[in-house]
Amino acid sequence: MMANWDKLNEEFDQLIDNMSVEDWMVWAANKESRKAMRRLEMELKAKLQMEKIFLSNRVGNQLFDNMVVCVDLSNNFTIDVPHTHANAGENNYALAA
Amino acid sequence: MIKKLNIFHTQEFRYPILKFPVLATGNEMWLGDGYYFWQDFEFAKYWGIDRKMNGIHRKYQIFVATIEFDEDDYIDTVFNEQDYCNFVSKVEKFANKYYEYFGEKPTLEEFNDFILDYSLWNNIKVIRFQDLPTNNRCLKVKDYYYKKRIQFRVNEPVIITNFVAH
């Protein structure tokens, strides 16, 4: 699966092929103010996401702290609960460190 | 299909420690405003050494971020030929039109502004791209940049699902 280029191309071409000189001038004149609005929106989304990560890690820590390590003496092995913090083994990029 | 990656973010050391990547803004950002990450740790490290030692602590810090996204929401201009060719084609179509009306070449940031201003490609949340080759320290062969200097630009904070100091 990958980006749907039929859709992306159609969207892009339909717009750019029909823009007049005035459209280009209006776009150029207003892009900085639109960029400022987008930055604000991204910053707000980022704050929410940061809180979500913080809470998620906090809950994960609490669960970890509350988990019980079971010792099964009959077979002479322990059952360990895996650490739940950022798992750097999900792909090879972090292993390169 | 959901893709999950761990990638690196380098900043000046700050206290309190960052809990989220820093939004990169300004005209020097390749693809405009967004959250930028390195694919390879060594490039993240040398970015820190070369560019992030100017803060009051005179040291840098590397973070590991997890991003999770649908593959339909991703443009990979580095390893996917179709994504690369289509992306280049659109950038150049925009550049040609821009030149026609303004008499000069646009920046890649302006291309990105155009996409966002007209709410095009709304579902695209992350782009993988190749930065300029530099830094002989990462090479085992003299002066031949055989290793891609790969970055990710994320424009949707919601896909950053974890962020911890390395």
Reported as a pLDDT band with limits 50, 70 and 90, residue A88 is very low
Other C-beta atoms lying within 10 Å of the C-beta of residue B157: 23
Reported as a pLDDT band with limits 50, 70 and 90, residue B72 is very high
Q: Dihedrals φ, ψ of A32, to 5°?
A: -70, -40
Give, in order, the Cα–Cα distances in Å from B37 to each of A16, B5, B32, B142, B165: 30, 11, 14, 26, 14
**Predicted pLDDT of residue A85:** 41
Classified as helix, coil or strand, A79 is strand
Among A51-55, B56-60, B110-114, the range scoring the smallest mean pLDDT is: B56-60
Q: Label residue B119 left, alpha or beta by phi (over 0 means left) and psi (-120 to 50 means alpha).
A: left
Paired residues of B9 in beta bridges: B63
Using only C-alpha atoms, chain B has a radius of gyration, in whole angstroms, of: 17
Provide mean pLDDT across the span B111-133. Answer: 91
pLDDT in tens, A27-67: 999 988 998 999 999 999 999 999 999 998 887 766 666 66
Q: Residue A89 pLDDT more than 50?
A: no
This prediction's pTM:
0.82
Q: Residue B161 pLDDT more than 80?
A: yes
Is A86–B66 a contact, with Cβ atoms under 8 angstroms apart? yes
**Predicted pLDDT of residue A86:** 40
pLDDT in tens, B13-41: 998 999 999 999 876 667 888 999 999 99
Token readout for A83 is 């650490």
CA pair distance A84, A37, nearest whole angstrom: 37
Instruction: Kindly give the interhelix angle for A21-66 and B81-102, rounded to the nearest 10 degrees.
Output: 140
Query: Mutate which of B7, B66, B111 to disrupt the A interface (most A C-beta within 10 Å)?
Result: B66
Residues 4 through 63 of chain B touching chain A, CB cutoff 8 Å: 4-8, 19-20, 23, 25, 32-34, 39-42
Q: Residue B7 pLDDT more than 90?
A: yes
CA pair distance A69, A78, nearest whole angstrom: 7
- Pairing outcome for strands B74-76 and B126-130: parallel
B113 touches chain A (CB under 8 A): yes
- Residues with Cβ within 8 Å of A68's Cβ and at least 6 positions away in sequence, in order, are A81
E strands, B83-143, are: 126-130
Q: Label residue A79 left, alpha or beta by phi (over 0 means left) and psi (-120 to 50 means alpha).
A: beta
Nearest Cα to Cα of residue B33 among B88, B152, B113: B113
Long-range contact pairs involving B85-90 (C-beta distance under 8 Å, separation at least 24)? B86/A3, B86/A5, B86/A8, B86/A9, B87/B127, B90/A8, B90/A9, B90/A12
CA pair distance A10, A7, nearest whole angstrom: 5
B141 touches chain A (CB under 8 A): no
Is A15–B25 a contact, with Cβ atoms under 8 angstroms apart? no
ipTM of model? 0.84
B102 touches chain A (CB under 8 A): yes
Token readout for B27 is 């005209």
